[in-house]
Amino acid sequence: MKILVLGAGGFIGVNLTERLLKEGNYEVTAVDIEKDKLKDIGVFDDPRLRYLHLDIRTDNDTLERETKDHDLVIDLVAMANPALYVEDPLGVFTLNFTENLKIVDYCHKHKKRIIQFSTCEVYGMTAASVIGKDPKDMPCPFSEDDTPLIMGPIKNHRWIYASAKQLLERVLHAYGLQHDLNYSIIRPFNFIGPRIDYLPSEKAGNPRVFSHFMNALLYGTPMKLVDGGKAFRAYTLIDDAVDCMVRIIENPNGACDKQIFNIGTPENEITIEGLAHLMKEIFNEHFRQEGDPDPEIVTVSSEEFYGKGYEDCDRRIADISKATELLGWKPTHDLRSVIYKTMEYFVQQHRARQGQPEPATASN
């Protein structure tokens, strides 16, 4: 099978590309404007990989030709940084909807199957928060086909990312109804693992929360809890997530045709405040060396951290029964091992840059 992976140089894309090449049954064209992470895993030595430097916003002819020449298109192209949702909402919408819609159009035109990556943020807020209840007191597993999608008010333009992704999903569904486009949609729930987002000390901007906390542990900056860190998240190791993705790609007996899949680990739920303390605990137990900083955990407002117009998703719990029933998939890593394995990668990278020996770490 010839697979076109758009956005292959990002966190999910590079891990998925690496796995597809290990499977041995695929020819992969990896498309991105960055290839540093792909170089890091040595995939350019594999004759089944072709890298194409392409910006989907500017080279429509090449994008259409590549779509036509492949059996499957996997679309990971996205602008997924909460700080950008409030800094550049129009840019976020344009890339996440308008530019991605071209790919859907090309897949329809050339009768190609598409796997579209969406986001768990399409679910928005829980009903509990809307009616003034504490989200932790109400179970809220999000079901792909039945759960209402609740966005915040227009003035909180943080929701433009989720709204763009939701609209793209609705267009895919309409294409499937009216033109029999074969699609699968993936809603990721907080994937972390090796090669996740940059650390702020390495690149400007506000990253996702794990990278922010990891940066604090390595460089001594404060671990900032936005609005007290009361929001809940459930973390999934990228290895588990990729295992589910490969099953969706393989599509046994057409089980994934015109289906939406949550990929997450509902058992690994924790508050952001709890995550900060757990990461400090794991760092102190396994990675701390003499002279390492001991960052302070502080509370900041969302406006101070992200800017005006931010609003958070209060809780995200994935109902993964569809992936279990149709694909036989279940995640295998508990929360502590997910955090440990992700931290281990960053600590090793940091020590190598600093020319320091790696700490002796117990297996977790």
CATH number of the domain to which 168 belongs: 3.40.50.720
Residue 45 lies in a domain: no
- Which of the residues in the chain have pLDDT under 70? 138-139, 198-207, 356-364
> What is the structure's pLDDT at 134?
79
> What is the structure's pLDDT at 316?
87
Residue 73 lies in a domain: no
Residue 17 lies in a domain: no
Closest CA to 74 of 33, 127, 17, 122: 17
Residue 300 lies in a domain: yes
Cα–Cα dist 219/306, whole Å: 21
Residue 49 lies in a domain: no
Domain with 266, as residue range(s), is 78-354
Residue 182 lies in a domain: yes
Residue 362 burial by Cβ neighbours in a 10 Å radius (0-12, 13-18, 19+)? exposed
Residue 341 lies in a domain: yes
Instruction: Give 150's DSSP letter.
Output: B
Residue 102 lies in a domain: yes
Residue pLDDT, tens place only, 31-79? 999 888 888 887 888 899 999 999 999 999 999 999 999 999 999 999 8
> What is the structure's pLDDT at 203?
55
> What is the structure's pLDDT at 49?
94
> What is the structure's pLDDT at 280?
97
How many distinct structural domains can be found in the chain? 1
269-278 burial, b at 16+ Cβ within 10 Å, e below that, comes to bbbbbebbeb
> What is the structure's pLDDT at 364?
46
